[in-house]
């Protein structure tokens, strides 16, 4: 398939659950996130006792060209590993200069962003709020509530996902629960 012969189509995404009846999601269980949470003992215990589903999202089968847009929902379930909220792995785009847009449909949480130059930011997700991920920023969604955090995203189809940097270096910041409230702290594992 080329960019020019993709036909118009539509897909359903539930506004509350984020799930689609017409296409299959990609699921990430906790065991796929080794080393990403600060508390290794809490991580191992949670994997041992059932390896919970942390998040799922939709990956469209479109040609990965600069003229196409990939889109779908991302659903981060509520929960914590130790005192750290459930989150996505997070990634830079392989083409670092490509941005992305997220729009929160339900739940509450935040997007943690950081660029290679060391700037970082936490943008709040509440239903109806859009968050812009500028070029160069790694992005990770975090569920800070008690319901699934559902966002709709779209980005240039050739952007690609660079997980390596986050897997080896980690994020500069973490979001943990302290006295019942989210708090941003330095990541003790950041290299």
Instruction: Please pick, from the candidates 90, 109, 148, 170, the single residue that binds ligand F6P as defined by CB under 6 A.
Output: 90
Q: Which residues contact 81 (CB under 8 A, 6 or more apart)?
A: 30, 37, 39, 42, 43, 46
Of the residues 13, 37, 43, 57, which one makes contact with ligand F6P according to CB under 6 A? 57
- E strand or H helix at 40, and its extent? helix 40-48
Kindly report the three-state secondary structure assignment for every residue of 121-180.
EEEEECCCCEEEECCCCEEEEEECCCCCEEEEEEEECCCCEECHHHHHHCCCEEEEEECC
Q: Does the protein bind ligand F6P through residue 64 (CB under 6 A)?
A: no
Query: Taking Cα atoms as reference points, which of 144, 125, 154 lies closest to residue 184?
Result: 144
Q: Which helix or strand (DSSP H or E) is residue 42 part of?
A: helix 40-48
Task: Report if residue 56 touches Fe ion, rule: CB under 5 A.
Answer: no
By CB under 6 A, is residue 153 in contact with ligand F6P? yes
Euclidean distance between CA atoms 120 and 138, whole angstroms: 9
> Of 59, 64, 97, 183, which one interacts with ligand F6P (CB under 6 A)?
59
Interacting partner of 89 out of Fe ion, ligand F6P, none (Cβ under 5 to 8 A depending on kind): ligand F6P
Residue pair 141/149 in contact by the 8 Å Cβ criterion: yes
Residue number closest to Fe ion, CB atom:
100
User: Can residue 100 be called a binding residue for Fe ion (CB under 5 A)?
Assistant: yes
Q: Is 108 in the site for Fe ion (CB under 5 A)?
A: no
**Contact of residue 148 among Fe ion, ligand F6P, none (CB under 5-8 Å per partner type):** none
The site partner of 173 among ligand F6P, Fe ion, none (C-beta below 5 to 8 Å per kind) is none
Of 46 and 113, which has the nearer Cβ to Fe ion?
113
Nearest partner of 111 among 143, 67, 81, judged by Cα: 143
# binding residues, ligand F6P (CB under 6 A): 12
Question: What is the binding site for Fe ion (CB under 5 A)?
Answer: 100
Question: What is the binding site for ligand F6P (CB under 6 A)?
Answer: 28, 57, 59, 74, 88-91, 100, 153, 155, 161
């Amino acid at each position: 398939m080329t960019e020019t012969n993709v036909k118009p189509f539509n897909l359903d995404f539930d506004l509350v659950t984020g799930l689609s009846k017409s296409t299959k999601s990609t699921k990430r269980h906790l065991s796929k996130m080794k080393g990403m949470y600060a508390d290794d003992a809490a991580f191992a215990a949670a994997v041992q006792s059932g390896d919970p589903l942390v998040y799922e999202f939709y990956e469209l089968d479109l040609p990965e060209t600069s003229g196409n847009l990939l889109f779908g929902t991302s659903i981060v379930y509520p929960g914590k590993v130790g005192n750290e909220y459930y989150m996505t792995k997070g990634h830079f785009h392989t083409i670092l200069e490509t941005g992305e847009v997220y729009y929160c449909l339900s739940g509450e949480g935040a997007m943690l962003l950081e660029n290679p130059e060391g700037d970082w930011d936490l943008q709040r997700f509440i239903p109806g709020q859009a968050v812009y991920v500028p070029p160069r920023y790694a992005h990770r969604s975090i569920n800070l509530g008690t319901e699934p955090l559902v966002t709709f995203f779209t980005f240039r189809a050739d952007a690609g996902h660079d997980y390596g940097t986050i897997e080896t270096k980690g994020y500069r910041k973490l979001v943990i629960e302290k006295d019942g409230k989210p708090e941003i702290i330095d990541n003790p594992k950041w290299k």
